[in-house]
Amino acid sequence: MYTQIEFSKQTGCIVILKGKYTSISTPNGTIWFNSTGNHGMATAGSGDVLTGIITSLLAQSYTPLQAAQIGVYIHGLAGDIALQNNTTETIIASTIIEFLNKAFMNV
């Protein structure tokens, strides 16, 4: 975590570190931890799905920090909803995409 914050400060970037409790750090040293998501999301392409969500939010004029926070939350929530209908072993990136609409409707 210390490295993530220092990297944000040194580069002036918002950094998202995916994991059990995905974290978001900012250049001013603030860090947030996400409450959604599960280990079934640790699959190839899951990060690409997250990138797509964040990019779409940026295209809708959300600030980079807002896009990161909302994107990480929605991504994890879609994974949690997917887990209600699947097992952790069967979740793949397209499964997360399949449940994005329900995640957006539940916020």
Mean pLDDT by 10 residues, the chain (107 residues): 90 94 96 96 96 98 98 98 96 98 94
- Residues 90, 95, 101, 103: is their CA dihedral positive or negative? positive
pLDDT value of residue 25:
97
pLDDT value of residue 1:
61
- Residues 74, 81, 16, 55: is their CA dihedral positive or negative? negative
Domain count, the chain: 1
pLDDT value of residue 104:
96
Neighbouring CB atoms inside 10 A of 20's CB total 11
For residues 17 and 72, what is the distance between their CA atoms, to the nearest angstrom?
10
Q: Which of 47, 16, 46 is nearest to 34 (CA)?
A: 16
Range of the domain at 76: 2-105
* CATH number of the CATH domain containing 56: 3.40.1190.20
pLDDT value of residue 89:
95
